[in-house]
Structure 1
């Protein structure tokens, strides 16, 4: 039997009970570890992607706010320069009216000089008190073009302190294209209404102004009036109704915010007027009755984020695939190890049953003399002959100490010689040791016993361990157990085996050893 294993709780020799449950615990830990690690990887990946998306969205919001602010400053700058030029023209008209009347040739040259300084302005024109256009680029007096019905003309005529008036987009009667009208009143020396100075800006100029900003695919910038009517849009979509000048179709989100009266706001809309999902900022202009709307398409500013999503999912999937593959491989190895362990356990159980079926009493001791295994015959003989006094030769006890105690008993084997022989086997000085002695133990007839020890190989720190046995009653054997082949003719499985056998009965209670001989 493979006696290098420890004894069972029942006193036999077999594998530890924990070896059965260890593979199951390993399997549970492995599967649990794989599941937890993959959950952790996917949770961390999801959290990282969520944080990344929030950063992309925050950058998009900031970009739309910055562009809206820049557009407001640009439009306000253009209007400020234009208004200053119109005030200069009005002052010159009032000066000439206070002198000898308007000098049309001189005033036309003056208007041309002012216009050259304002490239964004389509023209500077002048109408008299009746609304008839009398001066400016492209004016043909014979056509008698009139502004008398224009809202800004009527308002400035009726309001002396009307200030700068800005009209909604319209097709100019002289310019013959879409323009935004800017107009100021000029007066006679007595303060009465003398007419209007107009400096329209072509809508195309605002379109060019919007085109300076890059918003990516599906991004859009709108300039709208106070009724949300479209003034200019980039990119233009003139072939669609929502891209027509004056169209006031907007998303419900923008309509709600605009009607609330807020000056500016940043929002996300699921579907804008042209059908795209966007993050947008709108801002009312302080210098004009207009508003700027800047929108970034969600698909555009999240394009890099989606690439990051695919990369992260690919890495997480690769981790899942590798971990599952590694787990499967380890489980396969564990299953094979379990099969091998079960085969070993079955073999050990078979060997234990064979050893326990022997009539010879067999004990295994280590290099220090500690009893590490016994067979059934040993336990039975100890119980029949020693009772409670047999404890010193039970598992875990020291066999050398038991022999030493036996030397104090008047009757017994030559324990000194037996100890010397066993230790010689342990030291490698003898390949084997056999001692035969008379023994008396009822109810068997008086006979003889023998102790036979053989080395089972190197145990522990290198000392050989003896294999000792006692011959069974009436067996006629001297207790020789064929050792497994090993170095120097010794067995190589590492434990000393001590067998004792009797050829005659021994009297019970004769000492601490299972059998003690008479001198």
Structure 2
């Protein structure tokens, strides 16, 4: 019964292992948290890269749109200046005529205007047959422009507005020009010729070259009918090209005034972000395009650098996570080992305690444990008002048994008697102990006189049933004499548990005096006093 310490040690071991079981998901939790953090970091990097990509595209769209607006404003200003000059020329010719004096004044005026306006290549007046009547050129020239597109236009159309013609090479200088022209009419309204202002395409080229559109960027200037006037980078053979099959021209026809588009023109197969704008009041449009590779080059570089840093961070985090998981596993292993060692130590301590509390020969509780238990059970019975029984037993004529059969036989006899006593004290609260030599003690808690007598008589009969020969005992067999005292500690006048031992010991001697192999019992509390 005093071996219950072993089960207590086992229970302690199970209690220690429970937290370990609760900590088993710690590795999975750590791995899950690290994985979630890596996914979060990757997601943030992806979102940041996408946001930067959209911002870069939007910034470039705004930049090219602003550039297209500036290009359109420049072209509108240049054409309006040419239109104003043409208006003056028409008014002078139709009002003053082309007499010798009037022509001389007009020629001087045209030369002065051309000198002051850098975008003008030349100013010309043609008769109804296409012959040159006068111009801003420094010397008179003979020629006929009847075949020119602009001349044919005014010959066939009665409108008096400015006509923007297709780009041509100047017959006077050989450079590419953009013709602006108006119709001259006689007083009767008949066709009287054409006034012409030519804009030097090189003027536009110098202006366009002042913009930074990147190595593969481009600038377009074209008529609404799809005729290309100028394109940067400039190629002579592209002037006058038909671009109606191009994406930009088709997009302008659909959208109207202004917009942006990503397109890859057939002319060079370079993908660009284009912004385009139509000139107000004229059949012209401009477009500015920046190569998407150049737009996104900085973004790609930054994204790659950020991705490398993020990957390095996640790699470091993963390495740290591996180390952490290993440390957690090592700690859990150490804790399991510690628990096992603790359980083993507790069992060992319980075993040592059991050895310390046990009689080496019989395995029953020894006298020290008996006295400790006696005090505890006595105090418990005193608090609860419960009855308390104590039995002292002694092997009859045991000295003679040793003398006749020897000490080894005597030891074996005591072991068997102890087994019989222990079998009689079966309840968890009962305690059987070797009190000394051949004397034994049994504590029976919460037991009245009837119950205690039944236990004592059972033990006495069990020893008789062992049928151990004892030639020096009148019965011829080993027997026990027992003193039993039952009382209520709560009624005792003196709080002294050892006094009960004295009473039980006197009753034991009464049993011996009465002939041995019997139980002498008494109930009361006055004897304890």
Kindly report which structure 2 residues correspond to 1:302-381, keeping only aligned pairs within 5 A, or say none: 302-355=296-349, 357=351, 360=354
**Shift of the alpha carbon at 1:175?**
2.9
* Counterpart in the other structure of 1:148: 146
* Counterpart in the other structure of 2:127: 128
- In structure 2, relative to structure 1, the CA distance for the partners of 1:181 and 1:402 (3 Å cut) is farther
* Counterpart in the other structure of 2:56: 56
CA distance, structure 1, for counterparts of residue 375 and residue 208 of structure 2: 104
CA distance, structure 2, for counterparts of residue 254 and residue 171 of structure 1: 26
* Counterpart in the other structure of 1:370: none
**Shift of the alpha carbon at 1:154?**
2.1
Query: Is 2:219–2:287's contact at 8 Å kept on the other side of the alignment?
Result: yes
CA distance, structure 1, for counterparts of residue 353 and residue 292 of structure 2: 89
> Which piece of structure 1 moves more, 49-58 or 263-272?
263-272
**Of residues 246, 251, 254 in structure 1, which corresponds to 2:248?**
254
**Shift of the alpha carbon at 1:259?**
4.2
* Counterpart in the other structure of 2:456: none
**Shift of the alpha carbon at 1:304?**
2.6
- In structure 2, relative to structure 1, the CA distance for the partners of 1:184 and 1:251 (3 Å cut) is closer
Secondary structure at 1:78 match in 2 = helix
> Which piece of structure 1 moves more, 217-226 or 26-35?
217-226
**Shift of the alpha carbon at 1:205?**
1.3
**Of residues 220, 232, 235 in structure 2, which corresponds to 1:234?**
232
Query: Is 2:124–2:195's contact at 8 Å kept on the other side of the alignment?
Result: yes
Unaligned runs of 5+ residues in structure 1 are 1-5, 364-379, 382-392, 394-398, 414-439, 447-470, 478-501
- In structure 2, relative to structure 1, the CA distance for the partners of 1:272 and 1:39 (3 Å cut) is farther
Secondary structure at 2:230 match in 1 = strand
CA distance, structure 2, for counterparts of residue 249 and residue 503 of structure 1: 127
CA distance, structure 1, for counterparts of residue 354 and residue 241 of structure 2: 112
* Counterpart in the other structure of 2:381: 406
Q: Deviations over 1:282-321 (max 9, x none)?
A: 2222232221111121122223322331232133223202
> Which piece of structure 1 moves more, 112-121 or 156-165?
156-165
**Shift of the alpha carbon at 1:37?**
0.6
CA distance, structure 1, for counterparts of residue 64 and residue 379 of structure 2: 98
CA distance, structure 2, for counterparts of residue 127 and residue 252 of structure 1: 36
- In structure 2, relative to structure 1, the CA distance for the partners of 1:13 and 1:73 (3 Å cut) is closer
Query: Is 2:221–2:287's contact at 8 Å kept on the other side of the alignment?
Result: yes
- In structure 2, relative to structure 1, the CA distance for the partners of 1:280 and 1:246 (3 Å cut) is same
Unaligned runs of 5+ residues in structure 2 are 1-5, 358-363, 366-372, 392-416, 424-430, 448-496, 502-529
**Shift of the alpha carbon at 1:78?**
1.1
Query: Is 1:97–1:188's contact at 8 Å kept on the other side of the alignment?
Result: no
TM-score by length of 2: 0.66
CA distance, structure 2, for counterparts of residue 44 and residue 400 of structure 1: 73
Q: Deviations over 1:388-407 (max 9, x none)?
A: xxxxx9xxxxx998663234
**Shift of the alpha carbon at 1:327?**
1.1
Q: Deviations over 1:67-114 (max 9, x none)?
A: 11121111111111111111112211222228x566433322121122
Secondary structure at 1:339 match in 2 = helix
TM-score by length of 1: 0.67
CA distance, structure 2, for counterparts of residue 41 and residue 400 of structure 1: 69
- In structure 2, relative to structure 1, the CA distance for the partners of 1:64 and 1:350 (3 Å cut) is same
- In structure 2, relative to structure 1, the CA distance for the partners of 1:276 and 1:314 (3 Å cut) is same
> Which piece of structure 1 moves more, 314-323 or 269-278?
269-278
**Of residues 396, 417, 421 in structure 2, which corresponds to 1:444?**
421
**Shift of the alpha carbon at 1:146?**
0.7
Query: Is 2:9–2:346's contact at 8 Å kept on the other side of the alignment?
Result: no
- In structure 2, relative to structure 1, the CA distance for the partners of 1:71 and 1:403 (3 Å cut) is farther
- In structure 2, relative to structure 1, the CA distance for the partners of 1:13 and 1:120 (3 Å cut) is closer
Query: Is 2:67–2:288's contact at 8 Å kept on the other side of the alignment?
Result: yes
Kindly report which structure 2 residues correspond to 1:18-33, keeping only aligned pairs within 5 A, or say none: 18-33=18-33
Kindly report which structure 2 residues correspond to 1:44-193, keeping only aligned pairs within 5 A, or say none: 44-97=44-97, 100=99, 103-138=102-137, 144-193=142-191
Secondary structure at 1:360 match in 2 = helix
- In structure 2, relative to structure 1, the CA distance for the partners of 1:184 and 1:362 (3 Å cut) is farther
CA distance, structure 1, for counterparts of residue 267 and residue 8 of structure 2: 83
Query: Is 1:359–1:472's contact at 8 Å kept on the other side of the alignment?
Result: no
Query: Is 1:121–1:200's contact at 8 Å kept on the other side of the alignment?
Result: yes
RMSD: 3.8
- In structure 2, relative to structure 1, the CA distance for the partners of 1:403 and 1:64 (3 Å cut) is farther
CA distance, structure 1, for counterparts of residue 171 and residue 138 of structure 2: 10
Secondary structure at 2:340 match in 1 = helix
CA distance, structure 1, for counterparts of residue 152 and residue 304 of structure 2: 63
Secondary structure at 1:260 match in 2 = helix
CA distance, structure 2, for counterparts of residue 93 and residue 26 of structure 1: 99
CA distance, structure 2, for counterparts of residue 266 and residue 400 of structure 1: 102
Query: Is 2:27–2:329's contact at 8 Å kept on the other side of the alignment?
Result: no
**Of residues 282, 289, 293 in structure 1, which corresponds to 2:287?**
293
- In structure 2, relative to structure 1, the CA distance for the partners of 1:42 and 1:476 (3 Å cut) is farther
Kindly report which structure 2 residues correspond to 1:243-282, keeping only aligned pairs within 5 A, or say none: 244-249=238-243, 253-260=247-254, 262-269=256-263, 273-282=267-276
Q: Deviations over 1:126-149 (max 9, x none)?
A: 1112110121144866x6311111
- How many pairs align? 400
Query: Is 1:442–1:507's contact at 8 Å kept on the other side of the alignment?
Result: no
- In structure 2, relative to structure 1, the CA distance for the partners of 1:296 and 1:38 (3 Å cut) is same
* Counterpart in the other structure of 1:504: 440
Q: Deviations over 1:174-229 (max 9, x none)?
A: 23111111111223344332221111111111112222322233221111122333
**Shift of the alpha carbon at 1:508?**
3.7
